[in-house]
């Protein structure tokens, strides 16, 4: 072991208890469409408004691979007169929703790593949306974990937040500013999704994942994954965009407008991002003298099944099976930064010491992150 070696020594996954199937989603969406079209019949007839079209469960599964998603609040999402989760505000004295789910995932990750809260030096909350401006959610997480020392900060690189967070954690450990970093992804995607928009209403779900990073020489867990390398790439694009922010109130005309929630040019994203991701993985493993044949697993970001199949095929030079490129989006949908970590959490135990794989994320920014790991224990 080199003293610069860093390992992933544990992971955690917290899944909401409520879930929505495509069929349930489509029933409530179509009820909303019917109501909208009836209420606006005159304007639609006069050509002032365009009628809305219904959604379809078969289309959703075929276009995305998604069969269901977990959410914090099913009732609000499925209420045709609302189509948004009901998540009550909490007083300042109470733990916030996002910190609460982060703490649950972290406890599991620490147990998995054979560590306790007192071993942790730093908390990174890395995800697509922070529930407030400040104080940082991570500092609240640090408090509710009962950490009596250390530091914490929030970071947001949308769907790539987890791999960027892993690199930040690895760098902190290598440069000596921490020995043990916990990187956590509390994703409440149901709250940034336009459930009224047929093109994307099926895409997202809620979840929290956590990763424990430590110096290899300190780690005690039975199973460890050495981080062989991390690589990040960003390239500006508005094809996935959400304009929600603190300046919104400065122009009343835009408050509540469609652009203040997630939106995307799905086809363009598909076409532009897949080749960039495959190229980055190939280049990254090449720089570590690893051939595609030596890659036992690809834990890819979970946004769209066809995207993952195309990326895996480009990397391997042949179609990958679901063991080589595990799929969790059928059950979880797109959980933004957490997707590749859920895949890693659920689909790694069968690999042997010495086996190598890549955790890879991609999404808004554009942003792409790859983390090459080797099972070291
Ligand atoms: N139900 C039924 N039909 C629908 C529908 C729905 N919910 N939503 C769209 N359609 C229709 C469209 O109107 C279109 O009809 P047309 O051919 O008559 O014009 C047809 O289905 C195809 O629509 P399109 O939007 O082109 O579908 P797609 O095959 O590109 O799939 C996505 C849409 C979003 C699943 C896909 O583009 C995608 O996943 N892209 C990757 C981007 C991504 O996931 N990003 C997340 C962040 S990384």
Residues 149-179 have pLDDT tens digits of 999 999 999 999 999 999 999 999 999 999 9
Tell me the β-bridge partners of 124.
Answer: 153, 183
**Number of the ligand 1 atom closest to the C-alpha atom of 202:** 7
Q: Is the CB of 59 under 6 A from ligand 1?
A: yes
Residue 267 exposure: Cα atoms within 13 Å on the Cβ side: 1
CA nearest ligand 1 atom 27, residue? 63
Q: Which helix (H) or strand (E) holds 97?
A: helix 97-113
CA distances from 234 to 11, 81, 160, 360 (A): 26, 39, 10, 14
What is the CA(369)–ligand 1 centre distance, in A?
A: 25
Q: Please, what sign has the CA dihedral across residues 311, 317, 319, 321?
A: negative
**Single pTM value for the model:** 0.97
What is the CA(85)–ligand 1 centre distance, in A?
A: 23
Quote the pLDDT of residue 1: 65
CA distances from 295 to 19, 41, 312, 335 (A): 33, 57, 11, 25
pLDDT digits 0-9 by tens, 192-222: 999 999 999 999 999 999 999 999 999 999 9
What is the CA(172)–ligand 1 centre distance, in A?
A: 40
pLDDT digits 0-9 by tens, 336-365: 999 999 999 999 999 999 999 999 999 999
**Number of the ligand 1 atom closest to the C-alpha atom of 267:** 37
pLDDT digits 0-9 by tens, 86-110: 999 999 999 999 999 999 999 999 9
153 exposure class (CB count in 10 Å sphere: 0-12, 13-18, 19+) = middle
pLDDT digits 0-9 by tens, 275-318: 999 999 999 999 999 999 999 999 999 999 999 999 999 999 99
Quote the pLDDT of residue 223: 97
pLDDT digits 0-9 by tens, 140-154: 999 999 999 999 999
8 Å CB contact between 133 and 246: yes
Distance CA 67, CA 88 (A): 28
CA distances from 45 to 35, 37, 52, 196 (A): 15, 10, 13, 21
Tell me the β-bridge partners of 169.
Answer: none
Give yes or no: 189 in active site: no
pLDDT digits 0-9 by tens, 323-338: 999 999 999 999 999 9
**Number of the ligand 1 atom closest to the C-alpha atom of 198:** 7
pLDDT band at 4 (very low <50, low <70, confident <90, very high): confident
What percent of the residues of the chain are helix, what percent strand, and what percent coil, each to the nearest 5? 40, 20, 40
In the chain, DSSP finds a helix count (H) and a strand count (E) of: 11, 13
């Amino acid at each position: 072991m080199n003293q610069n070696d860093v390992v992933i020594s544990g992971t955690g996954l917290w899944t909401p208890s409520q879930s929505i199937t495509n069929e349930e989603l489509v029933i409530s969406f179509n009820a909303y469409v019917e109501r909208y079209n009836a209420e606006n019949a005159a304007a639609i007839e006069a050509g002032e408004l365009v009628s809305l079209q219904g959604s379809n469960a078969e289309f959703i599964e075929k276009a995305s691979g998604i069969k269901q998603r977990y959410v914090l609040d099913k009732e609000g999402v499925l209420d045709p007169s609302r189509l948004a989760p009901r998540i009550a505000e909490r007083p300042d004295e109470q733990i916030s929703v996002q910190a609460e789910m982060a703490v649950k995932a972290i406890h599991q990750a620490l147990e998995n790593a054979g560590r306790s809260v007192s071993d942790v030096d730093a908390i990174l909350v890395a995800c697509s949306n922070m529930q407030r401006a400040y104080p940082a959610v991570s500092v609240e997480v640090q408090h509710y974990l009962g950490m009596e020392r250390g530091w914490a900060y929030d970071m947001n690189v949308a769907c790539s937040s987890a791999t960027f967070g892993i690199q930040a954690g690895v760098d902190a450990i290598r440069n000596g500013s921490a020995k043990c970093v916990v990187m956590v992804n509390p994703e409440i995607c149901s709250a940034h999704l336009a459930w009224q928009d047929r093109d994307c209403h099926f895409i997202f779900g809620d979840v929290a994942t956590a990763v424990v990073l430590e110096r290899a020489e300190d780690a005690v867990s039975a199973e460890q994954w050495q981080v062989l390398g991390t690589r990040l790439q960003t390239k500006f694009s508005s094809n996935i965009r959400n304009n929600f922010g603190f300046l919104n109130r400065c122009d009343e005309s835009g408050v509540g407008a469609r652009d203040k929630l997630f939106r995307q040019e799905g086809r363009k994203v598909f076409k532009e991002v897949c080749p960039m991701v495959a190229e980055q993985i190939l280049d990254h493993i090449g720089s570590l003298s690893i051939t595609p044949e030596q890659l036992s697993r690809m834990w890819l970001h979970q946004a769209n099944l066809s995207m993952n199949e195309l990326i895996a095929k480009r990397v391997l030079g042949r179609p990958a099976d679901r063991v080589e490129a595990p799929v969790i989006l059928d059950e979880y949908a797109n959980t933004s930064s957490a997707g590749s970590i859920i895949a890693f959490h659920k689909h790694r135990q069968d690999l042997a010491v010495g086996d190598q794989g890549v955790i890879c994320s991609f999404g808004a920014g554009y942003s792409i992150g790859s983390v090459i790991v080797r099972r070291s224990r």
